[in-house]
A and B are shown apart, each in its own frame.
Chain A
Amino acid sequence: MTMDVKTIGAGLPDLAPTAPGGAAEPAPGAPSFGAVLKDSLAQVNTLQHDADTAIQSLATGGQATLHDTMLAVQKADLSFRLMMQVRNKIIDAYQEVLRMSV
């Protein structure tokens, strides 16, 4: 599985605060929500890559142990699912906001 996870993030709206008055400005020094999300995508990608490496090592008789490989695969799977849930919630919230009458 070599799908690049970052492409899923392409469907997300731009999360930089643009409301008038800057109501959604992040606290000074703290990363914006968009940055946190981008970072999470990168982590999910890393876990996917780690799982791929472990699987390959296991399949070719390398150094990976069976349980470490299973753990890596599970971590990649769960973090991916978590990210999908977050993504869905964000999109739902965004659409909710769009539906609000001004």
Chain B
Amino acid sequence: MANIVFDPTMQGLADAMTLHQRRHEVLASNLANVETPGFKAQELDFKSALQDAFDTGRLEDDPNRKPSLVEDATAPVRADGNSVDLDLQMAKLATNGGRYVALAKILQLRMALLRTAIEGTR
């Protein structure tokens, strides 16, 4: 009975949040190394993993669909070998954080809805 109440989308939302948290780490690493010679900017490619999180409610084990850490090949490299564009990374940081917050809000609302359904409005 209890598990009828919780649909797979909830876990999908949580998994999506985890992916965005992971991406935040990659972006934060880029920013910490903005002055490190030879450091190449990285990005987390998680489109397929994100899709799975919502379609099936769980992350697949297929390595092709896992999130992967990729080097941003299009980023121009400066004289010291560093390719981190400060403004670009900060813009990505802002949108990534915004999505995480939005997902958290949706999850919170779902929970509130369930609580109301179970206990009635109080």
Q: Residue A67 contacts which of B1, B3, B18, B115 (CB distance < 8 angstroms)?
A: B18
Cα A43 to Cα B2 with chains together (Å) = 6
Shortest distance in angstroms between B121's beta carbon and chain A's nearest beta carbon?
A: 14
Complex CA gap A79/B6 in Å reads: 9
Contact at A78–B1, with CB atoms within 8 Å?
no
Q: Which residue of B lies closest to A42 (CB)?
A: B2
What total of A-B pairs shows CB separation below 8 Å? 51
Question: Is A4 on the interface with B (CB-CB < 8 A)?
Answer: no
Number of interface residues of A (CB under 8 A): 20
Of B10, B18, B21, B118, the residue contacting A82 (CB under 8 A) is B118
Contact assessment for A43 and B3 in the assembled complex, using a CB-CB cutoff below 8 Å: yes
Asked if residues B5 and A79 are in contact (CB atoms below 8 Å), the reply is: yes
- A67-B114 contact, Cβ under 8 Å, with A43-B3, A81-B119: no
Contact A67 B2 (CB under 8 A): no
The dominant DSSP class at the A interface is helix
Residues on B with C-beta less than 8 A from A37 are: 1
Which residues of A lie under 8 Å from residue B119 when comparing CB positions?
A: 81, 85
Give the distance in Å from the alpha carbon of A44 to the alpha carbon of B14 in the complex.
20
Cβ–Cβ < 8 Å partners of B11 in chain A: 71
A47 to B11, CA, bound (A): 14
Nearest CB of A to B12, in Å: 11
B17 proximity list for chain A (CB < 8 A): 65, 67
Residues of A within 8 A of B (CB): 36-37, 39-40, 43-44, 47, 65, 67-68, 71, 74-75, 78-79, 81-83, 85-86
